[in-house]
Chain A
């Protein structure tokens, strides 16, 4: 057909019903993203970062012992993906969300292409949905690539030994794979809430910088807020809290409440952020340069004032509500964990099962040597564990604990009693002493 073919004459009869939908916009947006250097770099980082981490773990002597599962990074291939997941939850995922979503709308402002895009045959609703889905697809692909790259590379480079869980239990390789993948899959929900945050910032501020850096900055501020006060109310509603929900999967018995609560929180935030973004986008006037700067400054000012007010309010409320970090709860979680780890150490050291030997621990925890109320996060907790066993002389030891606001702790035991970091089994093979220092978690939500 000639380019200059005459148009069909009667307007009303020419009305089409086969207008492009969300899937078309999604395809177009993904095609645009594929052509962008930032997206290619991001994908490469998602593939290479976990691989690099696993490689470093294999060749260097030290392990990231201050991170959950980090001390097992050289022992089992299932630990590294979880360590990476822990890092990612702090700032990696918010940054990933910012990169894939934060410039999704503002790039059209930067290139001046709204008038090109919105004068085609797609409604604003379809454009909004397509762009939002494209950001979600990119985020999901990024998270999946990170997870698979982390799991495959560390399993290949390290080992497939069982994983020591957060209650001192041994997790079989098969179950470890399932739990690792479940943890990453669950993390998609909070990631998507940050994607929605990036989209909202992109729409409201029309600034790629605000959209990309906003989510990691928000995550950082949220983490600082959790350090301000011991109250549980504010912590429970922060969008970063769900990133810790997967810890409950590695506790025995599985603590599912944080997972569900984190999912709920993430879904609510996703909905709220998207609703605000749509509200602004659907009403936006695509005006010329003469109309934009004045209103844009107003919007940016209002956004900044609103964000500051929310942070101040959250900071003021950081002490509200009870704390779930109490001496009683610590004692309840440390006792069985310690008992299991003692058995595990015995088994690894002697290559024998303790059989019917009974072991009983009694734990008493306090904070600041008893001078402070025994509740809340801090690095001044101590727990005295008294081991009672018919086969052993009663032993008592003091554990130094660092308890984090998310309900996870690291316990350091005295080497004079539990032995050095590296022990050897009956055949002379070295292994990491599971009692030297150990991590555990108990739900705080």
Chain B
């Protein structure tokens, strides 16, 4: 018998007026997995999170959390499920500690000390500071602390590192990884492909509210197109001709003929560069255009790559 999934949605549909935000979305998140939800802005990611949290009622379809039907406002079924949607929000006139203390009361238990959690997310020196004075990144970390307050077994994180500086983002990613190592199921959305690559075991890619790809990151890498590079040489015309003759390599003019775009795997690209040198053509610039995962993302969603690294 298959293990009970942490999240199982079946045929979810949600409209906002004329806009179809989620269109027949079915997916599973296995217990203990770290699963990513990818999609362009407006693809329906946040709406999915809101439905999972019970903040929105889908027009049709069902949500099962740990094997139980999760109707909106069913707090019993959502016990131990934590996280945040979009930017976490708190009461600005209260301190970080007081916010967590009050939220802890609304969770019905006080198994975690607010101070410990704030220390854990790097806000140990801001416990008494009013949240109204917090930066976006600090609120993001406070959101994570508020999630941990619930001793989650399932974390739903919508863009958990957005607005964070690189060091803070790395800290948050490390924390998520630690939680996952302790058996917490994590379902996160992100624009950052390298983050997904680092954290997730499996991903779901959505476009216009529909699942367009679902599988492991390993499979995603396998299906990803060859990486693309921008190439500038001392003689782009001859470099183009030389490239056209080579197997496993695709070369095209880009930027109105001012540069070349080369698609090739690592070995073919290296051979091509050596061949250019032998032909007396100096390579002035060779840089990646898009990582393979981003390229596949672009291909699947028909949109611009949205990597935060770019």
Contacts and interface: CB of A to CB of B under 8 A. Distances in A.
B108 A19 contact: yes
A286 B93 contact: no
A11 B89 contact: no
Given A3-B116, A7-B182, A11-B68, A28 B102 contact: yes
19 contacts: A3-B120, A4-B179, A7-B183, A11-B65, A14-B153, A19-B75, A20-B105, A20-B106, A111-B92, A112-B87, A115-B50, A115-B53, A116-B103, A120-B106, A122-B75, A123-B73, A125-B73, A288-B86, A291-B16
A120 B153 contact: no
Among B65, B67, B76: residue with most chain A CB under 10 A: B76
A287 B88 contact: no
B46 to A, nearest CB: 6
Interface in B221-271: none
Interface string B37-58: 0000010001100100111110
Interface in B87-129: 87-94, 98, 102-103, 105-109, 111-112, 116-117, 120
A36 B56 CA distance: 30
Contacts of A9: 183
Interface residues of B, number: 61
Among A19, A27, A36, A291: residue with most chain B CB under 10 A: A291
Contact of A31 (B16, B102, B148, B182): B102
A328 interface: no
A28 B105 contact: yes
B41 to A, nearest CB: 10
Among B57, B67, B89, B106: residue with most chain A CB under 10 A: B106
B241 to A, nearest CB: 50
Interface stretch (B77-85, B188-196, B203-211, B274-282): B77-85
Interface of A: 1, 3-9, 11-12, 14-16, 18-20, 24-25, 27-28, 31-32, 35-37, 111-125, 285-288, 290-291, 294
A249 B285 CA distance: 94
Contacts of B47: 287-288
Given A9-B183, A35-B98, A121 B112 contact: no
Contact of A11 (B67, B83, B91, B102): B67
Closest 4 CB pairs of A and B: A11-B66, A7-B153, A286-B55, A120-B106
A35 B93 contact: yes
Contacts of B103: 116, 120
Q: Tell me the interface secondary structure of chain B in the complex.
A: loop
Contacts of B157: none
Contacts of B79: 14-16, 19, 121
B152 interface: yes
A254 to B, nearest CB: 46
A18 B105 CA distance: 12
Contacts of A37: 93
A142 B44 CA distance: 46
Nearest to A36: B93
Contacts of A6: 182-184
Contacts of B77: 15
Interface in B115-151: 116-117, 120, 146, 148, 150-151
Contacts of A124: 73
B302 interface: no
A237 B220 CA distance: 69
Contact of B182 (A4, A25, A27, A123): A4
Given A3-B120, A28-B106, A290-B16, A12 B93 contact: no
Nearest to A115: B85
Nearest to B148: A3
A286 B85 CA distance: 11
Given A118-B54, A122-B106, A294-B17, A111 B182 contact: no
Contacts of B299: none
A28 B86 CA distance: 24
Contacts of A25: 106
B151 A11 contact: no
B60 interface: no
Given A8-B153, A115-B89, A123-B73, A287 B56 contact: yes
Contact of B106 (A11, A117, A287): A117
Given A11-B80, A112-B89, A118-B53, 17 more contacts: A3-B112, A4-B182, A19-B75, A19-B79, A20-B106, A24-B106, A31-B102, A35-B98, A111-B90, A115-B50, A116-B84, A119-B84, A121-B108, A123-B73, A288-B85, A290-B16, A290-B19
Interface in B1-15: 4
